[in-house]
Amino acid sequence: MHRTNRVRLLPIFVGFFRLGVVSFGGGTAGWLYREIVERRRWINDAEFLSGAALGRLMPGSGGVNLTVQVGQILHGGSGAFAAVLGLLSGPLAIILALTAGYTTIGQSPTLHAVLDGVAAAAIGLTFATGLKLVRFGRASAGPLAVTAATVLSVGVLRWPMITVVLCLAPVSIGLALLDRRGGRA
C-alpha cells in the first residue's frame, strides 16, 4: 500500500506554498490541477479526480482536503502535513499582515469603504455558490424543503447550527433514500 516518497518534502512544501499564494478567489482545486498535475506532473488525472471527489465529499474546504490527499500520495503522512503547511502558511502570513495594517489605519473612511465593497462582493459570491448548490440538488420538493428549513433555522431564527444540522441531516438522507428507491421502482 505504501507507494510513498515520490517527491521529497521540501519541494512539496514549496509547490503548495506557491499554490496557496497564487490561488486568489478560492477554487483551489483548479489551481492545484494546473500547478501539480499539468506543470509539475506529480500526480496523474485519475489520482487528481479521486482526490477531488473525496475532497468535495468530506466536510471542510475541498481544496485543503484535496491537498491532504495529494501530499499523502506524494510522501505519506509527512507529505500530507508538508502540503497543508505549505498551502496555508502563505495566505496566513498575508492575511495577518493585512489585518495588522487594518488595525493600524483602522479609522480611515476610505479603507472602510473598500472593505464594505469587498464584503458585498464576497457575500454575493457566497450566495451564488449556495444557489448553484441548490440547483445541483436536482431541485425537487424534499431537498428544497430541507434547504429552506436550514436557512430559516440558522439564518433567521439563529438556532445553533450544530444542532440544526444534526437534526436535519438524517431527514435529508432519508428523503434522498426514498427518492432513489422511488426512482428505481
Within residues 85-124, the interface with other proteins by CB under 8 A covers: 87-88, 90-92, 94-96, 98-99, 102, 112, 115-116, 118-119, 121-122
Which residue number, 115 or 148, has a Cβ lying nearer to other proteins? 115
Which residue number, 8 or 101, has a Cβ lying nearer to other proteins? 101
Among 13, 43, 63, 82, binds other proteins (CB under 8 A): 63
To other proteins, the closest distance from the beta carbon of 19 in angstroms equals: 9
**DSSP notation for the chain:** -----SS-HHHHHHHHHHHHHH-TTS-HHHHHIIIIIIIS--S-HHHHHHHHHHHHHSSS-HHHHHHHHHHHHHHHHHHHHHHHHHHHHHHHHHHHHHHHHHHHTTT-HHHHHHHHHHHHHHHHHHHHHHHHHHHHTTT-HHHHHHHHHHIIIIIIS---HHHHHHHHHHHHHHHHHHHHHHHH-
To other proteins, the closest distance from the beta carbon of 110 in angstroms equals: 13
Q: What residues between 143 and 172 interact with other proteins by CB under 8 A?
A: 143, 146, 154-155, 158, 160-162, 165-166, 168-172
Does position 40 interact with other proteins (CB under 8 A)? The reply is no
Which residue number, 100 or 185, has a Cβ lying nearer to other proteins? 100
